[in-house]
Structure 1
Amino acid sequence: MLENPISTLYPINEIFQTIQGEGVFTGVPAIFIRLQGCPVGCPWCDTQHTWEQRESDQVEATEVVEKQQPSSNWASMTADEMVKLIEAKGYTAKHVVITGGEPAMFNLIPLGQALEQKGYQLQIETSGTFAIQVTPSTWVTVSPKLDMPGGYLVRPDCMKRANEIKYPVAMQKHIEQFDKLLKACPPRAEAIIALQPISQRPRATELAIKVCIERNWRLSAQLHKYLKIE
């Protein structure tokens, strides 16, 4: 049964069209819907402006579409309103990425249903620290965040639901931590595993390439940062 997309409100930091720069869908035109709010606290996070959801930062929906500068401003929107806005903008991409912040803090089923009814393919990017509420056909990218300041643990059910596990690395200890996670919370056999160098540091990139070749994993190089696009 279709859930009511009108009654579910989402805090939207930003909506824009670009090229997906990470993971399996690298190079695919995509519409990004960035949600506001995340308590995980990753030190290297490049969207720290999405962490706090302050009432004083709430704005009209028109102010979060194709922002010129990152900000903590957010708008409250329903799934139906987002679909209408995307259609009004005339975006050509059919791949929609729900990111954040931490999108799994919210029930994404109504949003997924509303988008899929219009022919969009849905992907979410999550830290794996909150229960994932999405439609069955949603592509789930879990980017596990271990030992972060927020103190949240990666959930076994999130690892099992993941279609893709994209792990950020900078040094050997991160590989060791990831190995422990894979043993404690094994993913499904067909899940794609990728390593993503943190901040394009040469040492991190060299390590990620080396381990990906050794284990037949994939490399996620954050193409959008090399191209200097959002």
Structure 2
Amino acid sequence: MSNTRFRINEMFETIQGEGVFTGVPAVFIRLQICNVGCSWCDTKQTWEAKNEDQRSFGEIIAKQGDSPTWSDVDAAEIVAMYQSQQFNAKHIVITGGEPCEYDLTALCDAFEAIGCRCQIETSGTSEIRVTPATWVTVSPKVAMKGKLPVLPSSLERADEIKHPVATQKNVDQLDELLQGVKLKGDVVIALQPISQKPRATELCIETCIQRNWRLSVQTHKYLSIA
């Protein structure tokens, strides 16, 4: 197993609230560090990994609520913690932060070895290093504070492209991103309204019907779950 280490912000069991796997029981692994800089980000506590915020893995598992604390662990330790917590979910969602700041191959390998399926949620601004079986959800972040471009290679690897939408400009940005990119033949393209805004939702519904795309609703926000 690779000696790649991960800075983990939290790990918990819940229901996947958005995208293709909406409603599926899942264990979320949230990794620390992100340089994208989305203004509407609801996990800004993961952007930096300050030395004074480092904690034991046990403290990270036990913490309640959002905080910038993190633990330095490897894939074997993460899987061992998953097993010791006796989680039921076999769907593992690796998110962030920006999870692709890390080589995720060893972590996905380790979970697949015990019969789990892995999904990553990435902005598409970093190289994607995962196993072939990993479900890759790219949520393209365009013109953000970090000024990082969305990589064509990330879009080409995507099993699902889940694009946040507030206005028509965001739909146009997605069209521009996809021009000339050789997507997977069975890739799912979904539009996700930002912040549950009614006009954004209407726009997403109209566009999805016109293009035979999918609507992704953040059901966890309506249900008030993690």
- Contact 1:97-1:125 within 8 A present in 2 as well: yes
**Aligned position for 2:135:** 139
Please list the CA deviations of residues 92-118 of structure 1 after superposition, one character each: whole Å capped at 9, or x if unmatched. 000000000000010000101111000
Alpha-carbon deviation of 1:68?
1.1
Alpha-carbon deviation of 1:131?
0.4
Tell me, in whole angstroms, the C-alpha distance in 2 between the residues paired with 1:125 and 1:160: 15
Identify unmatched segments of 5+ residues in structure 2.
Answer: none
**Aligned position for 1:14:** 10
Alpha-carbon deviation of 1:50?
0.5
**Aligned position for 2:148:** 152
TM-score (norm. length: structure 2):
0.98
Identify unmatched segments of 5+ residues in structure 1.
Answer: none
**Aligned position for 2:188:** 192
**Aligned position for 2:219:** 223
User: Quick one: structure 1 residues 172 and 184, their matched pair in 2 at CA, closer, same or farther if it must change by over 3 Å?
Assistant: same
Q: How does 1:1-230 map to 2 (within 5 A)?
A: 4-5=1-2, 7-230=3-226
How many residue pairs get aligned? The number is 226
Tell me, in whole angstroms, the C-alpha distance in 2 between the residues paired with 1:202 and 1:184: 32
Structure 1 stretch displaced more, 16-25 or 187-196: 187-196
Tell me, in whole angstroms, the C-alpha distance in 2 between the residues paired with 1:132 and 1:79: 17
- Identity, in percent, stands at 55
Tell me, in whole angstroms, the C-alpha distance in 1 between the residues paired with 2:108 and 2:27: 13
Alpha-carbon deviation of 1:185?
3.0
Tell me, in whole angstroms, the C-alpha distance in 1 between the residues paired with 2:183 and 2:146: 23
Runs of 4+ in 1 over 3 A off after TM superposition: none
Tell me, in whole angstroms, the C-alpha distance in 1 between the residues paired with 2:85 and 2:174: 41
Please list the CA deviations of residues 125-156 of structure 1 after superposition, one character each: whole Å capped at 9, or x if unmatched. 00000000000000000000001110000001
RMSD: 0.9
- Contact 1:16-1:66 within 8 A present in 2 as well: no
TM-score (norm. length: structure 1):
0.96
Alpha-carbon deviation of 1:184?
4.0
Alpha-carbon deviation of 1:187?
1.9
Alpha-carbon deviation of 1:66?
5.0
